[in-house]
Structure 1
């Protein structure tokens, strides 16, 4: 069992669970602005689910490596498997590239 900290929330999940799916299942507003409607639905091709992740997660997949080349320290939630207790931080902007943290 792992815990995901998002803002003031602690969300339990199984190790190996997909981060995007866990966040959506727990009603965490993962997408900024129009990305709520316009996103790739977890295929790893759009980058709108980019989040900062602290803690043990899976290595970057090839689609994620290609998509996050410009995303600094961000990960695509749809491509991340949770491997232990983590903290997730969402940043402003369509692709989460902003410096300002967004409350989710």
Structure 2
């Protein structure tokens, strides 16, 4: 089973599990500020679940690519939408600041 490390927690999930669901089920604060209330609930349209990921995950699908190509995101940033990402192997997750997680300052790291 793949291991996910985020916000000082490490937990296992099934291979192919949806990263957004895994993070939320394990008490990780995926959303910044009011985005925890105002988000698309996983359909890939808002972009507030953007995170940086190291490790083996699915290729970015068209929803992920399309949303991250629009402001305030940039395709040049190393981010993915957690709601459109499947965990395929051990990963670490980092969240950045900004309503959409598009900022440059780290909100939390894999270690905490």
TM-score normalised according to structure 2 size: 0.89
Structure with the higher strand share, 1 or 2: 2
Q: Superposition pairs for residues 45-84 of structure 1, below 5 Å?
A: 45-69=45-69, 70-71=74-75, 72-84=77-89
Runs of 4+ in 1 over 4 A off after TM superposition: none
Q: Which residue of 1 aligns with 2:25?
A: 25
> Deviation of residue 34 (structure 1)?
1.1
Rounded Cα–Cα distance in structure 2 between residues aligned with 1:68 and 1:54: 18
Q: Give secondary structure in 2 for the equivalent of 1:88.
A: strand
CA contact (8 A) 2:51 2:95 kept: yes
RMSD: 1.0
Please, which runs of 5 or more residues in structure 2 have no aligned partner? none
TM-score normalised according to structure 1 size: 0.95
Please, which runs of 5 or more residues in structure 1 have no aligned partner? none
CA contact (8 A) 2:7 2:28 kept: no
Are 2:41 and 1:36 aligned?
no
| Number of residue pairs matched by the alignment | 104
> Deviation of residue 61 (structure 1)?
0.8
